[in-house]
Amino acid sequence: MASERAASSLDDALDETDRRIVNALQGGFPLSDEPYREAAEPLGLSEAELLARLKRMLDERALTRFGPMFQIERMGGRFVLAAMQVPEADFDRIAETVNAFPEVAHNYRREHAFNMWFVLATEKPEGIADAIARIEAATGLAVAAFPKEREYFVEMKLDA
């Protein structure tokens, strides 16, 4: 039922042009001095209109994120999946605290003993331990870290 409501509200949030934007930009983005202008042209849009539509979709949460995905290890950094067991009564407060850390890439709730999961990204591998220690100090809760053992590439494109 909740997923039907989410799909319905997404349908209401996107018009045909928005759908064409989402579908076109999932598979790549121009690397140039004017990437938004180049991305807008095949869609029959101006750069300003593309930017305005992306901003609106992000503001309305039809899109939760628009940006590059980096392989941080190639740049000398590190990603770690982390989880916490957060008392339900404190979940929103703890989520706000965790999300305030610049190392937290995203955070989501799961129906599990470990009910809060988030990704930590640091510029250097040793930054992970420091970020975990600061999050534990700020929340009073233990952070379980799950470092990547192997990487898989699965490209997933969704038709809007």
Q: Which of 38, 59, 80 is the last residue of a domain?
A: 59
* CB-count exposure of residue 30 (10 Å: 0-12, 13-18, 19+): middle
Residue 158 lies in a domain: no
* pLDDT for 11: 58
Residue 160 inside a domain? The answer is no
- Domain range for 50 is 2-59
- Of the candidates 17, 26, 54, the residue with the CA atom closest to the CA atom of residue 158: 26
Whether residue 47 sits in one domain with residue 83 = no
How far apart are alpha carbons 68 and 57 in whole angstroms?
A: 17
Mean residue pLDDT of the chain comes to 85
State pLDDT tens for residues 142-151. Answer: 999 998 887 7
pLDDT of 122 higher than 80: yes
**Does residue 64 belong to any structural domain of this protein?**
no
CATH number of the domain at 103, please. Answer: 3.30.70.3460
**pTM, entire model:** 0.60
Q: Do residue 47 and residue 76 come from a single domain?
A: no
Q: Where does 14-117 have alpha helices with state H?
A: 16-25, 35-40, 47-59, 91-99
Residues 51 and 17 in one domain: yes
DSSP run (H or E) holding 122:
strand 116-122
Contacts of 25 (CB under 8 A, 6+ apart): 39, 66
Q: How many folded domains does the chain comprise?
A: 2
pLDDT in tens, 83-111: 999 999 999 999 999 999 999 988 889 99
